[in-house]
Structure 1
Amino acid sequence: MSPDHGARRSQVILVEPALTQLAKLNASETHRLDRVIVAISVNPEIGTAVPGTLLRDYIDEIDGVRVIYYVTALRTITIVSYVEA
């Protein structure tokens, strides 16, 4: 019998301007962002839908991180458009 596995994570890809923002973050900010990216990859519905778009906006109040992203139709890839930490 195979082991019980949890839900499959989506692959996360950062595009411009997210990559530009990422380059400006220090180590602490990057660590906080990493935790948020993992949360989004596990549950892409975690963010709030931006009306009239495919985008989702997730703000983690505890870590002070904001990520704007969208998820592909099959939910296998999450594309991050913007990060703020």
Structure 2
Amino acid sequence: MPHHHTHTTTTRTTTTRRRGLFGRKKVVHHQKRHATLGDKISGAMLKLKGSLTRRPGKKAAGTRRMHGTDGRGSHHTARRY
């Protein structure tokens, strides 16, 4: 007669299996800038335009502009005289 073992299962939040090349989970951080009132208004207009024209990309761009994560001002270089 075969022996039957009882097992208890536990749920854990961290994974022990290695994935990818180095097996480390990378946390993505999006550089944020301060969204002005004008950014928020133009972002809302862009979102509305995207909703009405069924363009998800435009809608997402409006959201990014409103949140200050659209990358504007991130390519600033020092002014040379």
Same fold (TM over 0.5): no
TM-score with structure 1 setting the length: 0.28
TM-score with structure 2 setting the length: 0.29
* More relative contact order, 1 or 2 (CA 8 Å, 6+ apart): 1
More strand by share: 1
More helix by share: 2
